[in-house]
Structure 1
Amino acid sequence: MLETLLPILIFAALGLAVIGAWRRIRLWRQGRPAEVDLLRGLVAMPRRYLVDLHHVVGRDKVMSNTHVATAGGFVAAAVLMILVHGLGLGSPEVLGGLLGWLLLAASAVMFVGSLLVAKRRLNPPARLSRGPWMRLPKSLMAFSLSVFLITLTTVGVLPQDAGSWVLALILAAVLVWGLGEMVFGMTWGGPMKHAFAGALHLAFHRRAERFGGGRSTGLKALDLDDPDAKLGVETPSDFTWNQLLGFDACVQCGRCEAVCPAFAAGQPLNPKKLIQDMVVGLAGGSDAGYAGSPYPGKPVGEHFGSPHGPIVAREGKALVDDETLWSCTTCRACVEECPMMIEHVDAIVDMRRFLTLEHGNTPNKGAEVLDNLIATDNPGGFDPGSRLHWAADLNLPLMADVKQADVLLWLGDGAFDMRNQRTLRSLVKILRAAEVDFAVLGVEERDSGDVARRLGDEATFQSLARRNIATLAKYRFQRIVTCDPHSFHVLGNEYGELGGQYEVLHHSTFIAELYDAGRLAFAPWKGGSVTYHDPCYLGRYNGEYEAPRNVLKALGIEVKEMERSGFRSRCCGGGGGAPITDIPGERRIPDMRMNDVRETGAELVAVGCPQCTAMLEGVVDASAEVRDIAELVADALVANTQMEKPAAGAPPRSADKTTAEEVS
């Protein structure tokens, strides 16, 4: 009986899966076109799955082993099941029954994996979605166990007529259950949908540069010259088709939720829920079926959407409330943790672009900041001519005068902030101590455009970027150095698409180079215990974790690492325009970060970003002093290190003989 039923069941399931796949593909193709090399992507997909994806999954060794056993066992079992039971190639006469024995092994491995999945689901972490996902362990067991038992008769371990027709029907029913979830469910919906969508998502990823050890974090430019192009994303169908495919690949594991600073602060954002809302919009319907953590303060079941309906409604309910999008700090922790390598931040900024460019709907101080950028080239609305007032006594060389230098020092808009001016003065002191040939743009420097772009104002960003690029084109320099990771990221990773290709270094990287070259010498550290806070735009965005720590080590400091450090560092809350849009939550993100500092017992937290300095110093009753790495280095320079060198053509000044310890 089974010999007759099995081929029918297997090929019926495969036929339905093909129909479901076509239906799913049609949903994705509602999105806008995307430039994708389909053939190259398909060829690269196995490596991307086995190497790049598992590099992320492997951070949790238990789940990595579970995934290898379950997913690997299923893929092998499914292929061998078709050969053995669908095409009848499992008998001892074919390769000595080898295929049958391999199927037994694959289904056994899958069964072990399903037991591990079941164990995890006994008391699942809060970040895991429940609902249909709770039935997954049972479906995995049903598929693997039924295939294993049926195959025992094929390889001759049990006689072909073992048991009754009742037992055969029971086994067939259990197999139908397993086939329904594992094969049919992959394309029609359910927990296994992520397997089908995920494989194709890896093949047709919108950031193929991320694979093979690469890094791709710069936002993609809008074509503002196309009069027919919609500015940003209004409806789910405005996303590119491979973005929609990526949303459908979500496994609802909640890793993004667990690291999101906005979610932890009780702001109305959960990156997992956001991606699932996009899936709801893709097919149409309501979020009532969502079985995970909601947006804090927002119940499930009150939001609705469709492929061509608005994601954010100006009146009434839609898929997402606008404050959900404005809660994001663009820290990229969700993207870094996602085992399916989904690009949450790209999606959020795409939706912000529509709200800002099409409706001018930027909350709180957003509109004021954007107006300031347009009028004065800086977000604070300061007189552009005052950019160098803080350095009136430093006699800084200007590019307009010297025309060329080894290093262009990019000041950033911290030049208008009294606190960050201390960091800039320290950096100038270091550069002169190392006898670096540097110059600044002075009043010719404009805002890099980072905050405009993150707030969705692509037009203002591109205007600022193109004018900065035109200014930089007038001069000759080898590298740009800045103490602002946001400017560092934009200049190095996002100006290139607009024609500005530069080598840009964060000041901690440059200081480390100077020290390694023997151009700096430090007095022994005599301060207290120190921890280090990784800026998101230096670490997760650009992979620079070691240089700041190497500088601190050179100072004689042994860093007391926070539990969340490196690529898992908690955001300070200062990125993505979050301090400007200022969406309320249950607690403040910088307060949570300073609690992380407090847990280390450190007396001082070293930082490498003016935004981080401002956010952490704004914490009431902070347990640690906040100082930039440049300040620590400047204080430690040996006594005979000169703070200032005369500018080109300038007469010597008495200040040139002042020691570093005498100059603050």
Structure 2
Amino acid sequence: MLNTLLPILLFAALLLAVIGAGKRFFMWRRGRAAQVDWLGGLLAMPKRYMVDLHHVVARDKYIANTHVATAGGFVLAAVLAIVVHGFGMHNRILGVALLGACALMFVGALFVAKRRLKPPSRLSKGPWMRLPKSLLMFSASFFIATLPVAGILPADFGGWILALVLAIGVAWGVSELFFGMTWGGPMKHAFAGALHLAWHRRAERFGGGRSTGLKALDLSNPNAPLGVEKPTDFTWNQLLGFDACVQCGKCEAACPAFAAGQPLNPKKLIQDMVVGLAGGTDAKFAGSPYPGKPVGEHSGGPHQPIVNGLVDADTLWSCTTCRACVEECPMMIEHVDAIVDMRRHLTLEKGATPNKGAEVLDNLIATDNPGGFNPGGRLNWAADLNLTLLSDKKNCDVLFWVGDGAFDMRNQRTLRAFVNVLKAANVDFAVLGLEERDSGDVARRLGDEATFQSLAKRNIATLGKYSFKRIVSCDPHSFHVLKNEYGALGGNYEVLHHSTFIAELIAAGKLNLGQHKGGSVTYHDPCYLGRYNGEYEAPRDVLRALGIEVKEMQRSGFRSRCCGGGGGAPITDIPGKQRIPDMRMVDIKETGAELVAVGCPQCTAMLEGVVEPRPQIKDIAELVADVLLEAPAAVAVKRVVEEVQ
């Protein structure tokens, strides 16, 4: 009886899975066209799964080992079950192999079940609570059904009653794990996730690569949508990526806006896009809601506007674009891309940038800087420094990109300190002076792609008139845009953050440094230097060269907490229960450090905005300038003069 029922159940489930796969694929294809490497992506998918995805999953050893056992056991058990029970190949060796796969899967499922006994708040509940039972049922049913094949029990063991019970267990298991993959349910992530890895919109992320620059809009095409208004305005592989979400909540736990009580939860945002793809409401969402916004009040469909349907505008404007969600996502979903795409529609089509957003964008258009300052004052901070203009010199080794910190009195101290460092090392450098425009970072993050591209093209045209080897900036946001986003518009340059450049100068022996005499120091990783560009060591190398032993915060490196200053967040200023920089200052105070080393003008502004008493904030350039001694060459000359005398 079992030999008759099992093939029917298996192939019926497989047929339904294939039908569901086709239906799901056509649902994704409602999105806009996207160029993908169809065959190459599929061939690369196993490696991307085993290496790139598991590189992220492995950060949590418990779930990594659990996933290897459960997923690995399931794939092997499913294939062998089809061979042994579907096609009737009752070979003893195959039977023993199937028993081993089922046992492996069962052990993994036990650990899944243990985790679900008291699940962390970030995990979605609802249908996910039944998954351990389905995994256990699938593995146990096939294990028992395979014992006769392996020669451990007689073929007629248990009779028709056991056969019926096993058939029910198999039916339960294959319903969840086979056609549940494509029709919806907890296992949907396995099917969508595999294809998401194959046709990822940022294939360059795999194999150890890094891809963080926003994709440019084609503003020359009058028929191209300016951003995303409805779910079908996303590219089809973005929709596929949303569908791959495993609802683990790691993005939720990492999000600074969610922690601050602002109306953003990256996990729910992705799930809302899935709801919009199929049509419906968010009433069945079984995870944490947006803070202050109950579940069940939002709905939408593939051709309906997202904002004020699926999500409120405040949800999108709460994002600091820190990429903590993207960094933690085991499915490698691009949350920030989606948020900025939707912001673009609100800004470009609706003119609905909140609070001071519209004023800042108007300032950028009128004065080339977000503060609306007179462009003629861009070099006032350096009136006594005798800086060389590149327009006079025409070529240099280093172009110092000053950025719009030139109009901020606090950041001017950092700029002056870095100039002193450059001069002490006898670096051949120059500045653009009044020819420099805003890099366009703020405009792009606020969704104003038109203003960004206008500023970028003007800067690229200016840079094209001169010859230089490198651009160095004290601002990670300018550094990132120049390095990673100007290339799509024709501007390709070697760009360094000032901490990286200072580390090079120290390593080359070009700076004569004393030792830091102050108190204990911690270092705050800027998002646009760390997560966006992978630079974590250079700032710490510089601090070590000053004799500083960094007291690391619990959230440091790639898990550093955002200061709250990115993505135009201080401009849109969406209220929450607390301020993000205040939360970061709590992290800082836990170290007991008396001073915070920073490498970003926005981080400096946000952290210095925290009410005292608090540790002192200093840029790395300031710390280096504080301990500069006479240059080695000057010391040698002085010795020669003294000997002659």
Indicate the SS of the match to 2:145. Answer: helix
- Give the gaps of 5 or more residues in structure 1: 92-96, 644-656, 658-664
The number of aligned residues is 635
Aligned to 1:49: 49
Q: Deviations over 1:95-148 (max 9, x none)?
A: xx2211111111100000000000000000000000000000000000000011
- 1-structure distance, mates of 2:21, 2:512: 64
Q: How does 1:255-270 map to 2 (within 5 A)?
A: 255-270=250-265
Equivalents in 1 of 2:95, 2:40: separation in Å? Answer: 33
Q: 1-side partners of 2:149 and 2:558: how far apart?
A: 50
1:523 aligned onto 2:514: yes
1:598 paired with 2:589, answer: yes
- 1:385 paired to 2:376: yes
Q: Is the 8 A contact 1:488 1:505 kept in 2?
A: yes
Q: 1:509 maps to what in 2?
A: 500
1:465-614 equivalence runs, <5 A: 465-614=456-605
Q: Over residues 171-197 of structure 1, what are the superposed CA-to-partner deviations in whole Å (9 max), with x where a residue is unaligned?
A: 100110001100010000000000000
1:36-68 alpha-carbon deviations (Å, 9 max, x no partner): 010000000000000000000000011100000
Equivalent residues of 1:284, 1:305 under 8 A apart:
yes
Instruction: Look up the equivalent residue of 1:307 and give its one-letter code.
Output: P
The structure-2 alpha-carbon separation of the partners of 1:641 and 1:585, relative to structure 1 and needing over 3 Å to count, comes to: farther
- What is the RMSD computed on CA atoms of the aligned residues? 1.0
**2:180 pairs with 1:185:** yes
Residue 173 of structure 1 aligns with which residue?
168
Q: Which residue of the partner structure matches residue 293 of structure 1?
A: 288
Matches within 5 A, 1:188-203: 188-203=183-198
Output the CA distance in 2 between the equivalents of 1:259 and 1:3: 50
- 1:650 matched residue in structure 2: none
| Partner-residue secondary structure (3-state), 2:147 | helix
- Counterpart of 1:619? 610
Q: Which amino acid aligns with 2:294?
A: P
> Separation in 2 of the partners of 1:640 and 1:350?
49
Instruction: Say if 2:472 and 2:498, in contact at 8 Å, map to a contact too.
Output: yes
Q: Compute the displacement of 1:397 (Å).
A: 0.1
1:243 and 2:256 are equivalent in the alignment: no
Taking the aligned partners of 1:636 and 1:192, their CA distance within structure 2 comes to 58
CA displacement at 1:623 relative to structure 2:
2.0
Deviation for aligned residue 1:90: 2.8
- For 1:410, the aligned partner's letter is W
State how 1:631-642 maps to structure 2 within 5 Å: 631-639=622-630
Summarize the alignment of residues 352-431 of structure 1 with structure 2, pairs less than 5 Å apart.
Answer: 352-431=343-422
Distance 2:580 2:394 in 1: 43
Which whole-Å CA distance do the structure 1 matches of 2:93 and 2:458 have between them? 68
- Is the Cα contact below 8 Å between 2:424 and 2:631 reproduced in 1? no
The answer for the alignment partner of 2:326 in structure 1 is 335
Pairing 1:451–2:452 present:
no
TM-score (norm 2): 0.98
Tell me, yes or no, if the aligned pair for 1:433 and 1:641 is still in contact at 8 Å. Answer: no
What amino acid is the match of 1:102?
A
Cα distance between partner residues in 2 of 1:183 and 1:163: 27
Per-residue Cα deviation, 1:207-258 (whole angstroms, up to 9, x for no partner):
0000000000000000000011110000000000000000000000000000
Residue 209 (structure 2) pairs with residue 218 (structure 1): no
Given the two structures, how large is their TM-score scaled by the length of structure 1? 0.95
Is 2:267 aligned against 1:276? Answer: no
Residue 202 (structure 2) aligns with: 207
CA contact (8 A) 2:257 2:320 kept: yes
Return the offset for 1:639: 4.6
Alpha-carbon distance in structure 1 between the residues aligned to 2:548 and 2:15 = 64
Whole-angstrom CA distance in 1 between matches of 2:203 and 2:46: 14
- TM-superposed CA distance for 1:641, in Å, is 7.7
Distance 2:80 2:70 in 1: 15
Cα deviation digits, residues 344-369 of structure 1 (max 9, x gap): 00000000000000000000000000
Q: CA deviation at 1:642?
A: 10
Distance 1:17 1:615 in 2: 51
What is the alpha-carbon distance in structure 1 between the residues aligned to residue 332 and residue 488 of structure 2? 23
**1:163 alignment partner in structure 2:** 158
Q: How far has the Cα of 1:640 moved from its partner? A: 5.9
